Structure 1
């Protein structure tokens, strides 16, 4: 029975978009869930409150927090292409916001001449409005969010003015309350714009990251589909005309044989010759597809990696000595690029071709390697190592600081060492 993975192991196995998604969602949920602690800080800073109504107010605050976090979660899911938000969820958040404001007003009473209680009621009312705006940020357009922020500002100014009227201050303090109302209104507006804007921008960035990841995967699939299309087109061009000729001559031979005329045997021998020629052509196409050319592989690697959204740099133009080294190093480039696309979350890849003494060397280095990755050898790398050993070379791999390196080395051919390349024949 395998042991359960630790948090760090599970985290290291996640892709970059998954990590960014977890970090962004967690940050937004944490900020929204902090509402009860703000409520406690209001109680600690404002000594004037109704102790009998504190517990109901805190209960409504907790329920309001849960509803806003649930609405925010559903809104993010809808923004990223998931199911739409259920109407009852938004209704519950709005109803709890109204209930929170209604309960907050008597919880923080304002008596005659008690101007200090205005701030407590102001923040208690604000505590119900701001989380609702933040939770609704994924569901509304920017202009709608600005209108909501403006509405919250007007509501705060009106509540402050109404509170000032209830205090019953003398005319000499009217200007002071007017200034307080304007200040609180501006504070509400800028807080609403800042909070809602930061929520909306974070969610928008999350959508951009997932869209880039989907585009990267799509480009990689298109590159594979394009290669398959090229191969099928080559087979069609080689085999199409030949099979048409074989069909025509076979029908002619059958017609001559049916009528007892001479020439059927000659036509069938011609069909055999054409079939042998077609077999040689197909083998040539397959051999060209299976063989590897270093220049073509470097160009293909640059195209495939860039299509997958990976910044690719190729250094060096040294040509390996010998056809055997050319093909072996070309296979190394092909295998390395395949591993980069399939098994990493790389953003950059550097391919270097150079000479090292009497050897030709190809080095492929990419980032995006999981922290728990090791320089082991999968089946593809084992096959590549065997191919390089057949050419007298060697394969090295390393992992360092979330980077993976593959170094393929093939020595120059010696005159006394026979070639290990199999001789291709065209026999039927």
Structure 2
């Protein structure tokens, strides 16, 4: 039983890769948008010519604007990922506060002449409100609209140089053009990076949904195949049993001979059907070591775990193959279900007169209690029937399972001469994209 996580590291280690990327992306955007009050204080420190009459009100508006921006950004990301549309009241408050912060900040830092434009913070204060307000609405806007909005804001910022600086001169015109171009480059880059971050977040969750759907389809396809095989094997037989049973009942009711022979035929058909069903089920239950290694690679990689398999060409006898295949299946199941592994290594090799498979992963949960579940107990019983045994070890966040089965009939690597058919070397499975958990 896994304990309840208590620290941030425990919570973080138990999250999936998409959940970690989601958390990282969201909080990166939140921290950038939440830095608005710090930038406002920096503008006050850089430009001491601010108006004391409006400074206090402007700082209060900046705090309120930051809170609304964070709420709008959170609602916008949720809507981008398929959630509800943000409330109109929230968007209206965002627009009003953005405009209020920009306009009031513009007049809080006065400029009397073109020479004061360079050292003034009024243009940054204007962008503080309008820029951060636009960032909060990034998930709701397309790339084209964001680029157009950035150009409009940069043009307005450049033209604002002429407000309160007297008539237009060559100096003020040059400053307006320079400020407008630099603002355009900055806004388009920042708006674009925000939009790309939100877009990547959507792509990650879309891929995760596709993976889940693919796994469910694989399970449904396997169930359909199993039912189809049962129908093909057992359907005709049941039909014959039903017909012969009706014939026997009819003969018996009329007192005519032949009913006994028909029932004996029904018994024979039923026994044949039972053998066929057992053969079908045995085919599904049979384990094959090369197939299990290929399936383990596919399952672990589908779960986002880096997987390495060593020794796939190691010669293993038929009986040892089945036992070790069960060991691989149980070990991989435990890695997927009960660990937070990022990597897993499966090694198959010979050890004297035994064949050995080792499965090592680095995903022991924090606070996990060492023990042996029912799956490992069943595996130990299965290996004991083949004369083998399993061993487990734990070292920090690493956990290993070692399954050892006597295999005297397998040829030693490097010997010459023909071997038995069940002692041939295992084929190396090629990469596959069809196997999914």
Structure 1 length as normaliser, TM-score? Answer: 0.86
Offset of residue 296 of structure 1: 3.3
Counterparts of 2:66 and 2:179, CA distance in 1: 23
Offset of residue 73 of structure 1: 0.5
Contact 1:318 1:353 in 2 (8 A): yes
Matches within 5 A, 1:239-254: 239-254=234-249
Contact 1:220 1:308 in 2 (8 A): no
Counterparts of 2:114 and 2:302, CA distance in 1: 71
Counterparts of 2:260 and 2:5, CA distance in 1: 73
Matches within 5 A, 1:202-281: 202-281=197-276
Offset of residue 226 of structure 1: 2.9
Structure 2 residue aligned with 1:184: 179
- Aligned residue for 1:119, secondary structure, equals coil
- What CA deviation, in whole Å up to 9, does each residue of 1:366-404 have, x standing for no partner? 566645557643322222123223322222344568555
The answer for unaligned runs of 5 or more in structure 2 is 410-437
| Residue 342 (str. 1) matches residue 337 (str. 2) | yes
Structure 2 residue aligned with 1:318: 314
Offset of residue 32 of structure 1: 0.3
- What CA deviation, in whole Å up to 9, does each residue of 1:44-92 have, x standing for no partner? 0001111121110001111111111111101111111111222222211
Counterparts of 2:395 and 2:196, CA distance in 1: 34
State which of 281, 290, 294 in structure 2 corresponds to 1:286.
281
Offset of residue 118 of structure 1: 6.6
- Aligned residue for 1:167, secondary structure, equals coil
Offset of residue 124 of structure 1: 0.8
Q: Using a 3 Å threshold, how does the CA distance of structure 1 residues 377 and 178 change in structure 2: closer, same or farther? A: farther
- What CA deviation, in whole Å up to 9, does each residue of 1:222-246 have, x standing for no partner? 3333332332222222211110110
Contact 1:110 1:117 in 2 (8 A): no
Structure 2 length as normaliser, TM-score? Answer: 0.84
Counterparts of 2:207 and 2:38, CA distance in 1: 37
Offset of residue 365 of structure 1: 4.0
Structure 2 residue aligned with 1:107: 108
- Greater CA drift, 38-47 or 174-183: 174-183
Structure 2 residue aligned with 1:31: 32
Contact 1:347 1:367 in 2 (8 A): yes
Counterparts of 2:215 and 2:377, CA distance in 1: 24
Structure 1 residue aligned with 2:123: 122
Counterparts of 1:112 and 1:308, CA distance in 2: 64
Q: Using a 3 Å threshold, how does the CA distance of structure 1 residues 251 and 312 change in structure 2: closer, same or farther? A: farther
- Aligned residue for 2:317, secondary structure, equals coil
- Select the structure with the greater relative contact order (CA < 8 A; seq sep ≥ 6): 2
Contact 2:33 2:132 in 1 (8 A): yes
Offset of residue 348 of structure 1: 5.4
- Greater CA drift, 304-313 or 132-141: 304-313
Structure 2 residue aligned with 1:357: 352
Counterparts of 1:307 and 1:112, CA distance in 2: 65
Counterparts of 1:182 and 1:147, CA distance in 2: 17
- What CA deviation, in whole Å up to 9, does each residue of 1:247-303 have, x standing for no partner? 110111122122222111110111011111111222222233233222332344345
Contact 2:354 2:408 in 1 (8 A): no
Contact 2:362 2:398 in 1 (8 A): yes
Q: Using a 3 Å threshold, how does the CA distance of structure 1 residues 320 and 284 change in structure 2: closer, same or farther? A: same
Counterparts of 1:216 and 1:375, CA distance in 2: 32
Offset of residue 187 of structure 1: 1.8
The answer for unaligned runs of 5 or more in structure 1 is 415-428
Let me know the Cα RMSD of the aligned residues.
2.6
Counterparts of 2:184 and 2:50, CA distance in 1: 26
Q: Using a 3 Å threshold, how does the CA distance of structure 1 residues 17 and 307 change in structure 2: closer, same or farther? A: closer
Counterparts of 1:373 and 1:216, CA distance in 2: 28
Counterparts of 2:381 and 2:131, CA distance in 1: 64
Structure 1 residue aligned with 2:422: none
Q: Using a 3 Å threshold, how does the CA distance of structure 1 residues 375 and 356 change in structure 2: closer, same or farther? A: farther
